Structure 1
């Protein structure tokens, strides 16, 4: 049977790899991103692409309506659009923090609101929300980013309880570090957020160096695309999906032994 997926944030990285992998597995795939010029090759490969800003309700509605009009169904929504903006909590402008929530949390909520009526009518559907191990573990300077992902986790869990009565499930994928531009962008934003003569400059340097050294659990975008697919198609979906046992292990330690996690993080920061 035909299956239809909508995936957000597909211009690069995990999103781009995901639309191609879902297409390879036989899905009709719809997706978008703000940088439409980066979607040309995807359109040539049979992906239904269009401009998409998840913070713009009109843009979001246009993508959902197009998928329903052309296919008559939506089986999977992958809420992948998101970004990381690091910086000291004291110095990150509140408007920047709000923007990160608009994309990472409210953007996912907006498109989900438009997809759910169709899934409810079908009596089936899967919402896959791309969170992060950073919803449980943490480091200096990532406070606002980690908070958005922790919020997404709770939102997804509540949504799952509400919609499973209709045959719909909401699950979380928690990637760890990936071989992508994510860390580079996060720390570029952190440097922009520092005020002149910031007392946090040394901490920023140390945290950036820490991230550069953590490579043992890095996954490629293609690796994560397969995790997205499992989360979207498992007959009995799990509440959380991870790429590796290392990612899962770090989350377990942070959740069940918070003092141990805090001590290890402090030791690693001091060692730089």
Structure 2
């Protein structure tokens, strides 16, 4: 049995992963921000723990609570995140900073806190939920992709640093996944562009995203959670797990197409 902390466990990929790992006999602490999410986790035998990854005090309290109760932490799954979409000119820097705080610095904050304990127990596993969007970009997604590209680079560097201590660092790179984040992303992209020079382009991009993410093409969260579970159990885990709708196809096209051809495809495919 592993002691596992999962951030963003209240819904989507995080929730599916927590439930799956609990069913396989692990003890799961699920980071959540709402009471409703806490009740849902408890019903599945998962221990909810209040955890906003942008709040250093809550991060510290969560890690200390687990160590105090379990004396160890075997796996940290950094799943919390969201997508900020819109033209660079339309997005306030304060919004962009929050995107990076959630998707990158929140993850880094927890990693810094758990590493001393993992080193002390001479082993551990850190699983960072990135995205295919950490290796290719979509139209009007500059800040979201900047955060996920940073997660990729951060994880690659960290993997080298901690390998001598028996700690594995793993990236999960989902493609299109049917979770509820896109509804808020689309709505906010339209609002930010209203009355501006990017209004028509943003509306078209938002409508394309809405059509795509409300279709049956997107992968279900359970598809991604299976890859995470596999990474938890693997004796020698891979550095990257590419999974979900369109992931491998996008990476292949990005590799073989000239840059401007891929730019045109990304801009006009939604």
Cα distance, 1:264 vs structure 2: 2.4
1:241 and 2:241 are equivalent in the alignment: yes
**1:137-164 per-position Cα deviation (integer Å, ceiling 9, x unaligned):** 2222111001000000000000000001
For residues 70-89 of structure 1, the aligned pairs below 5 Å read 70-89=69-88
For the 8 Å contact 1:36–1:50, the answer to whether it is kept is: no
Which residue number in structure 1 is paired with residue 100 of structure 2? 101
Which residue number in structure 2 is paired with residue 218 of structure 1? 218
Distance change >3 Å, CA 182–CA 255, structure 1 → 2: farther
Provide the TM-score with structure 1 as the length reference.
0.92
- CA root-mean-square deviation: 1.8
When structure 1 is superposed on structure 2, of 220-229 and 106-115 the one drifting more is: 220-229
* Structure 1, unaligned runs of 5 or more: none
The DSSP-based 3-state class of the residue aligned with 2:88 is coil
Which residue number in structure 2 is paired with residue 201 of structure 1? 199
The DSSP-based 3-state class of the residue aligned with 1:90 is helix
Distance change >3 Å, CA 244–CA 41, structure 1 → 2: closer
Distance change >3 Å, CA 13–CA 236, structure 1 → 2: same
Cα distance, 1:209 vs structure 2: 3.0
1:27 and 2:26 are equivalent in the alignment: yes
Distance change >3 Å, CA 217–CA 126, structure 1 → 2: farther
Query: 2:241 and 2:13 mapped to 1: Cα distance?
Result: 15
Distance change >3 Å, CA 69–CA 256, structure 1 → 2: farther
The DSSP-based 3-state class of the residue aligned with 2:90 is coil
For the 8 Å contact 1:31–1:63, the answer to whether it is kept is: no
Cα distance, 1:244 vs structure 2: 4.0
Distance change >3 Å, CA 236–CA 202, structure 1 → 2: same
1:188 and 2:181 are equivalent in the alignment: no
Cα distance, 1:263 vs structure 2: 3.5
Which residue number in structure 2 is paired with residue 10 of structure 1? 9
Cα distance, 1:204 vs structure 2: 1.4
Query: 1:148 and 1:245 mapped to 2: Cα distance?
Result: 21
When structure 1 is superposed on structure 2, of 234-243 and 202-211 the one drifting more is: 202-211
Provide the TM-score with structure 2 as the length reference.
0.93
Question: How many residue pairs align between the two structures?
Answer: 267
**1:183-215 per-position Cα deviation (integer Å, ceiling 9, x unaligned):** 212112212322x41111111122123322375
Query: 2:230 and 2:22 mapped to 1: Cα distance?
Result: 14
Query: 2:76 and 2:34 mapped to 1: Cα distance?
Result: 20
Distance change >3 Å, CA 156–CA 39, structure 1 → 2: same
